[in-house]
Amino acid sequence: MKYHVIVASVIIVLLSACNGTSRKTSVKQTKKPEKIVQMPVFNADSAYQFVAHQTAFGPRVPGTEAHRQCSAWLGSKLGSYADKIIVQDFRARVYNKTSFDGKNIIASFNPLAKKRILLSSHWDSRPFGDHDPDPANHRKPIDGANDGASGVGVLIELARQLKLHPIDVSIGIDIVLFDLEDYGPPTEERTGGDDNFWALGSQHWAANPHVPGYDARFGILLDMVGAKNAIFPREYFSMQYASWVVDKVWSVAYDLGYDESFVNNPGSATDDDHLPINEIAKIPTIDIIHLDRNSSNETFYEHWHTTNDNLEQIDPVTLGMVGDVLVHVIYQE
């Protein structure tokens, strides 16, 4: 009797196991495969070389030969990586009523994708070292290694990675390098109401995007992202217009272990390229910018608008950190 019970039990167990296996196999066959995201490794040394190449032209002040040569190089370099390159020519009048020809350089990846992310920086450099400790330098142009070239260097390296490791075709990336951002009046000539003389390239692009009716889910502006031990607080206007984008980016930075740089402290209000993008183009855009309340140079990076803003101030570690955050933000999207 016991023998038959054991046999029956074994048969029941075997049948159950078979049935269970069958059901499990059936579930596996219908389960949707998980999406595998190939995450590129951002190359900080490459980004540094792109910064160095820009500064080698000399100060990239509109109207100069260095400006012309650098614009040609930027268009060629980004054009070698992007699916589409557009150079948006425009003319703008600066604070002293002089007009300059500007060039916004746009590199697009997956240009037919509806869902888009906007990444930007400015590529021109300041014609005046008006915050230099030496008054003799106040009318000298600066290299702008951190103020301009650092953000551009990060974005060119990101473009290179997008070429090597294409992002999902459902996501489009637009890298926009703005011109004539830094031709505002020198300190001794500033008056109330002269804010519109800054960020002229982004003002033009926001009102006349490279694609009619252009829209993006969100935007990220890079400004002064290459100095050693840089601090990036939550810039005021970024929080006012796009706090959810700040939360997204700072959360990624925290997960990557960069919370000592991407701090959760409020930052001061910065009149930068992200303002026209938010106010005119209506794209929620944030500014990753080095701000330091302990700086002797207002609240900006210590060598902001001085002749010391040169390649010696650039740290590949900082470039790599910012680039790593951007890679994870866009590839996880």
By the 8 A CB rule, do 58 and 307 touch?
Answer: no
Q: φ, ψ for residue 186 (rounded to 5)?
A: -65, 160
Q: Report residue 159's pLDDT band, with 50, 70 and 90 as the boundaries.
A: very high
Phi/psi-derived region of residue 118, left when phi > 0, alpha when psi is between -120 and 50, beta in every other case: beta
DSSP 250-313: HHHHHHTT-TTTS-SSB-----STHHHHHHTS---EEEEE-B-TT-SSTTB-TTTTSTT-SGGG
By the 8 A CB rule, do 109 and 173 touch?
Answer: yes
**Residues sharing a CB contact under 8 Å with residue 89, sequence separation 6 or more, in sequence order:** 101, 102, 103
With residue 212 as reference, give the H or E element that holds it.
none
Give the tens place of pLDDT for each residue, 258-283.
Answer: 999 999 999 999 999 999 999 999 99
Give the tens place of pLDDT for each residue, 213-232.
Answer: 999 999 999 999 999 999 99
Calculate the average pLDDT of the chain. Answer: 90
Q: Report residue 296's pLDDT band, with 50, 70 and 90 as the boundaries.
A: confident
What global pTM score does this model have?
Answer: 0.89
The answer on pLDDT for 284 being more than 60 is yes
Taking the C-alpha atoms of residue 290 and residue 2, their distance in angstroms, rounded to an integer, is: 80
Range with the poorest average pLDDT among 9-13, 180-184, 201-205: 9-13
What do you get for the CA distance between the two ends of the chain, in Å?
Answer: 65
Beta-carbon count within 10 A of 57 CB = 20
pLDDT of residue 14: 38
Taking the C-alpha atoms of residue 48 and residue 113, their distance in angstroms, rounded to an integer, is: 30
The answer on pLDDT for 209 being more than 70 is yes
Tell which residue, 291, 268, 273, has the closest CA to residue 122: 273
Give the tens place of pLDDT for each residue, 232-259.
Answer: 999 999 999 999 999 999 999 999 999 9
DSSP 22-80: HHHHHHHHHSPPPPPP------HHHHHHHHHHHHHT----TTSHHHHHHHHHHHHHHHT
Give the tens place of pLDDT for each residue, 73-99.
Answer: 999 999 999 999 999 999 999 999 999
Q: Indicate the SS3 state at residue 123.
A: coil
**Residues sharing a CB contact under 8 Å with residue 186, sequence separation 6 or more, in sequence order:** 128, 130, 138, 139
Output DSSP code: residue 168.
P
Q: Report residue 311's pLDDT band, with 50, 70 and 90 as the boundaries.
A: very high
* Strand pairing class (115-122; 171-178): parallel
The answer on pLDDT for 157 being more than 70 is yes
Taking the C-alpha atoms of residue 196 and residue 95, their distance in angstroms, rounded to an integer, is: 9
The answer on pLDDT for 103 being more than 60 is yes
**Sheet with strand 115-122: strands edge to edge:** 84-93, 99-109, 171-178, 115-122, 218-223, 285-289
CA-based R_g, the chain, Å: 25
Taking the C-alpha atoms of residue 203 and residue 188, their distance in angstroms, rounded to an integer, is: 24
Tell which residue, 134, 183, 137, 145, has the closest CA to residue 304: 145
Beta-carbon count within 10 A of 14 CB = 10
